[in-house]
Structure 1
């Protein structure tokens, strides 16, 4: 299938039958750690986040869901940008894309058992995983977009929404590649436990267990942790954070929760500065965050 490009959205549609993983490069010249990862050259980075298709799929799986229509992808991106302007939902859309992709296991060849960005997080079975608490709200926000653009798969929609949210929050433009297909039912959801947890006895070891499984390394772990520059933790969802702080009591959007940074809708490097200095009791530091400055290999 030929590549498709738009002046406002540099993306390519991947052939549905592709058996190779692909990576993307960011067009941003930013030197921040997160942006450096988004520009990553490593094949493992593309694999872990479902940025490309890969592995073998049977004919039945391929027939069950076609890859996304490129014209509808471009239109859906415009609708997502408008959604972000009115709901300030950047953080939860980034989290949705990450949690759909972050179940990837590089040691499993079979699709969809290996996980990754395949739209499985839309099913109640996976939404009920502890790490996905609250993500039903992200699905509710995106479902009207999916209904309007039926030619876009959930798997592509979640990654499109996440990449658009990063860009609209001031992060790099990500020339994504699209063509992911959806799993067909909840029986294809991954088992619980593939995503990071904040309160483990050995935070650094836990992060390595999770991210090494995806083919990532210590540098990648540090960079990806920087995504906490966006958003807040809510005790009623994750069990972490304060009910509200001076930075979150008035919103924007839904008030409350505890953020990692004062400007929690701005995509920048402030997360690393705040975690290192720990001067403000109103800013959140999880055990896994603290490990980035305590473990010698993460420093």
Structure 2
């Protein structure tokens, strides 16, 4: 969108995007003045891009398998290198509102919203959890340190971390783990997704001592059994895995981040069940990439893509019934996604049990 059009949009501009090819309006996202919507940018190498692969399928041949491994991968997060959370002096409702104000402040960033990259930050900070060793997860916010910040799956996430520094400067008592996960919740809700209860309690690591090893997030070039291996390690079942995958309705892939190119659907700043519909209803063909890899693209709109592992998962007997369910029932998808995402961002967090649970109202309503 031209910057000249920016004044015509209300503050939530990018959050009201709809499909370019098949426009739609949902009751969850308010209509935009004069029916002006933001769809996806056809420039896959957009300046200042940083979404990479939005959620958990962010590793590709261009760095997914490489990176650093920290030697003490079984170290508990509960060490003297963790600071005590200072939750009582933080106005989390105002933090939510301030994050919402950041989402579409730069109309030139990707498809006009920082929301998808903030969701990806919350995901990648949380998805490193290992239930057997009880390491990883959002507690500690260890992505602030090398080597974890340089893991291939985290390419581009410095943009999200840097963006949130202005929020942390305003609220210095909020832990980074709480800030990052709250930003993910805010982005999902403000882009039209379900309400997700959130509670504080994450503590910050003060050194790289608690960094997780590389390789804990899935590789998008592998098969469906790999996805199960990764997510079973965190404690998720097949239904939860497919529900979480629906977050790919947001964002796009970048060749300099994940090695893949394009959005999963034409409205990458709207949280809907369109991802599942696209998998079920479109004709997918293979496309070779300049880097030597390949991906699927929609035969009728080759700007839209799917990752190799996603088609394998869709055709898997155990997974397929959930894909088909969510393609038909968006309300059920929203319900299951909210539960699974809340579980994800709370993995490994040492809650005391007396934390206040926040249900933030959407600023777009």
- TM-score, normalization by structure 2: 0.58
SS of the equivalent of 1:297 reads helix
Q: In structure 2, do the counterparts of structure 1 residues 171 and 65 end up closer, same or farther at CA, with 3 Å as the change threshold?
A: same
C-alpha separation in 2, matches of 1:82 and 1:76? 10
SS of the equivalent of 1:210 reads helix
Greater C-alpha Rg? 2
Give the superposition deviation at 1:295. 0.8
User: With CA pairs under 8 Å and 6+ residues apart, which has the higher RCO, 1 or 2?
Assistant: 2
Aligned to 1:278: 282
Kindly report which structure 2 residues correspond to 1:5-154, keeping only aligned pairs within 5 A, or say none. 57-58=78-79, 60-61=80-81, 64-69=83-88, 71-87=90-106, 88-109=113-134, 114-118=135-139, 119-154=141-176
2:263–2:304 contact (8 Å) kept in structure 1: yes
**Gap runs ≥5 in structure 2:** 1-27, 29-75, 107-112, 284-297, 321-365
User: Which has the higher mean CA deviation after the structures are superposed, 156-165 or 124-133?
Assistant: 124-133
Matched, 1:185 2:207: yes
2:119–2:185 contact (8 Å) kept in structure 1: yes
**Gap runs ≥5 in structure 1:** 1-29, 31-54, 242-257
Aligned to 2:270: 266
C-alpha separation in 1, matches of 2:240 and 2:196? 17
Q: Aligned residue pairs: how many?
A: 222
**In the TM superposition, what whole-angstrom CA distance separates every residue of 1:120-178 from its partner, at most 9, and x where no partner exists?**
11223212101111101111111111111101000000000000000000011112111
C-alpha separation in 1, matches of 2:225 and 2:137? 22
SS of the equivalent of 1:298 reads helix
Give the superposition deviation at 1:271. 0.3
Aligned to 1:221: 241
Give the superposition deviation at 1:229. 0.4
**In the TM superposition, what whole-angstrom CA distance separates every residue of 1:235-267 from its partner, at most 9, and x where no partner exists?**
1111111xxxxxxxxxxxxxxxx1001111000
Give the superposition deviation at 1:56. 8.2
- TM-score, normalization by structure 1: 0.71
C-alpha separation in 2, matches of 1:147 and 1:295? 46
C-alpha separation in 2, matches of 1:148 and 1:296? 49
